[in-house]
Amino acid sequence: MALASPSKLIMGSISFGVFWMLAVFPSVPFLPIGRTAGALLGAVLMVICHVISPDDAYGSIDLPILGLLFATMVVGGYLKAAGMFRHLGRLLAWRSRGGRDLLCRVCVVTALASALFTNDTCCVVLTEFVLELAAERNLPAKPFLLALATSANIGSSATPIGNPQNLVIAFNSKISFVGFLLGILPAMLAGMAVNMVMLLCMYWKELEGIGVDDVAVGKEMEAVEEGRHVAATAEEEEEKSDDGEEVMSVMAENISTKHRWFMECSEQRRKLFLKSFAYVVTIGMLVAYMLGLNMSWTAITTAIALVVVDFRDAEPCLDKVSYSLLVFFSGMFVTVSGFNKTGLPGAIWNVMAPYSRINHVSGVTVLSIIILLLSNLASNVPTVLLMGDEVAAAAAAISPAAVTRSWLLLAWVSTVAGNLSLLGSAANLIVCEQARRATRNAYDLTFWSHVIFGLPSTLVVTAIGIPLIGKINI
């Protein structure tokens, strides 16, 4: 694409710069409006400065991705209410043998869970639980928080639903769920193992804590049920009620809206049925993904099935959806589309493309460095939106297989790049904020304490995973 007129080029670059600044530093002193409002501001500037037309702005908003994000959050809320993440927490604590064993469990459980339930969701519900486990064993919090954040990012790389940038790549590349999973799974497993070994090596001496026996584990699980593990606070408080006014879900309910059939059912049976149904339809959703059905409508259908079977006013449930995230994505789609229309990203890529061909080791290295740097400067989702089509077009000149590998390479590097610093990934920021605001055992994970481990881990894990990308084909 040729460069646009000077006025459009300048105003488009300024608008994107405003979006980037507020996305990376949402609380700048002179404009502390946050990421979501910053994305909308960037989109509005693109339109009013005539960088992009209103019709093109609306057309650039990817509704299938927004629909999948929305439905995934609804399903995640029901799974949380059904105790899914509480069971993951129990798995972490069961028969744990010291700090090193616990750290390995955190890495493995978090990585696998993030691949299926998104990295952000896992970080939200597991951070304070991990803090509690470390405190009960007199272990330092930092290695476990680093294990949680980095493993969540690495694990989320394996599936299209693991993180937002993978959703974008899956829709734009038309790679099937199974093809995406098999293409990145070897790299994910190797990266998870390497990251775990690096954590153990760096914090080996600090992880010499007391072991726990079955009695201690039992006490911890009792503490979970009593609400001491704040990662499940909302769920636990709603399930503690003896009179049945708040049961099963995170939604407050009005008894007068309940159908008589539900009133006649025993509360215990109703709880069991709703929990079982949540697990069954979620498994069905994953199976549908693997069969190649439309991911967005599959997720929406699953979410609606859960709402209908819950058989009560869905408004409290829908209130739990992060609409600010959906608005942020909408604004980002418009802003990035406008920036692309300036022709500047294409011009920059034209300079780098001859050195970034994925059929050569040097080309893959250069491309990976570009993705890694951009993912930390402009965040991973905008990087994918800016580079995806250009990278795929360059790979198309090589072979169809190269196109698929280029998309998978973009997914792997942009996701793992999030481990470099706290600003590289929303999951990192979630862990940091959740730990800082914890009601018990609060811990301040600083920017530099994360970089000290995140930088070498990102470089090593990325390098080890790249040769494994796309090795399994179907």
At residue 276, does pLDDT exceed 70?
yes
Identify which has the larger pLDDT, 246 or 431: 431
Q: Which of 132, 130, 129, 120 has its CA nearest to residue 77?
A: 120
Identify which has the larger pLDDT, 188 or 259: 188
| pLDDT for res 257 | 45
The C-alpha atoms of residue 470 and residue 474 are separated, in whole angstroms, by 10
Q: Dihedral angle at the C-alpha atoms of 114, 236, 286, 253, nearest 10 degrees?
A: -130
Q: What is the CA radius of gyration of the chain?
A: 23
pLDDT digits (tens, 9 = 90+) for 340-375: 888 888 788 888 888 888 888 999 999 999 999 888
Tell me the C-alpha to C-alpha distance, in Å, between residue 210 and each of 36, 126, 197, 224, 299: 44, 21, 21, 20, 43
Q: What percent of the chain has pLDDT over 90?
A: 30
pLDDT digits (tens, 9 = 90+) for 31-68: 888 878 988 999 999 999 999 999 999 998 888 878 88
| pLDDT for res 239 | 41
Average pLDDT, the chain: 81
Identify which has the larger pLDDT, 94 or 336: 336
Predicted TM-score (pTM) of this structure: 0.73
Of the candidate ranges 121-135, 238-252, 328-342, the one whose mean pLDDT is the lowest:
238-252
Please report, for the chain, the start and end positions of each structural domain, with discontinuous segments joined by +: 65-318
Q: Which of 133, 148, 140, 231 has its CA nearest to residue 195?
A: 148
What does the pLDDT average to over 137-166?
91
What contacts 19, CB < 8 A, 6 or more positions away? 38, 39, 41, 42, 43, 331, 332, 335
Q: Which of 128, 126, 92, 98 has its CA nearest to residue 203?
A: 98
| pLDDT for res 238 | 42
Q: What percent of the chain has pLDDT over 70?
A: 85
Q: Which of 319, 457, 381 has its CA nearest to residue 163?
A: 381
As to burial, measured by CB atoms within 10 angstroms (0-12 exposed, 13-18 middle, 19+ buried), residue 474 is exposed
Question: Which amino acid belongs to residue 127?
Answer: T
| pLDDT for res 248 | 37
| pLDDT for res 229 | 41
Identify which has the larger pLDDT, 124 or 289: 289
**Pair 69, 301: CB distance under 8 Å:** no
Of the candidate ranges 63-67, 191-195, 403-407, 464-468, the one whose mean pLDDT is the lowest:
63-67
Question: Which amino acid belongs to residue 245?
Answer: E
At residue 423, does pLDDT exceed 60?
yes
Task: Give 249's DSSP letter.
Answer: S
| pLDDT for res 245 | 38
pLDDT band at 1 (very low <50, low <70, confident <90, very high): low
| pLDDT for res 220 | 46
What does the pLDDT average to over 434-439?
76
pLDDT digits (tens, 9 = 90+) for 69-91: 788 888 878 887 887 767 776 77
| pLDDT for res 232 | 40
